[in-house]
Amino acid sequence: MLHKNPSSLFLPLVKKKLEMMISEERQQKHTGGRPKKQVKRESITGVRFTKIEYYVVKQKASKAGLGITSYIRQMALHGKVIARMDEEETQIARQFTGIANNLNQLTKKAHQEGLLTAVMLFEGYRNLFDEFLKRFQKNDK
């Protein structure tokens, strides 16, 4: 059986090689899905609560701004949970940020216009800052 074209002998081999290269490209290109975590939690432990205990833990977790599982994990590993700031604390933090910006502006003004003008403005901001500190200390107790 003679072929007119000798390259036709290699055609099936070339075709197979091309198909393999294309399938490898597809596998490399489309890994898909969520990336693998660096630290994988493999061990599962169950904790049983009474209904009352469960609701207490659930309430504490929501107050801390965490899910129940994360809350239990934090308590087991560290013995404490640092709660997220509530609305009032967030507003106070924003006000502190505003005061810090005002102090930066005072420093700039002191360099530009002189120290006496900056000292007068600083006194007003210091009094405002003292009021916020008093309010914040009252909320802490």
- When divided into structural domains, the chain yields a total of 2
- Torsion from C-alpha of 15, 19, 25, 29, nearest 10 degrees: 140
Q: Is residue 20 in a domain? A: no
**pLDDT tens digits for range 43-61:** 888 889 999 999 999 998 8
Rounded Cα distance between 68 and 34, Å, is 24
Residue with tokens 């640092």: 82
**pLDDT tens digits for range 48-94:** 999 999 999 999 888 888 899 989 988 888 887 776 777 787 888 88
Q: Is residue 118 in a domain? A: yes
Q: Are residues 70 and 105 in the same domain?
A: no
Closest residue by Cα to residue 117 from 127, 129, 105, 128? 105
Q: Which whole number is the average pLDDT over 110-125? A: 76
Q: Are residues 122 and 93 in the same domain?
A: yes
Distances (CA, A) of 30 to 20, 23, 72: 16, 11, 37
Domain interval for residue 65: 47-84
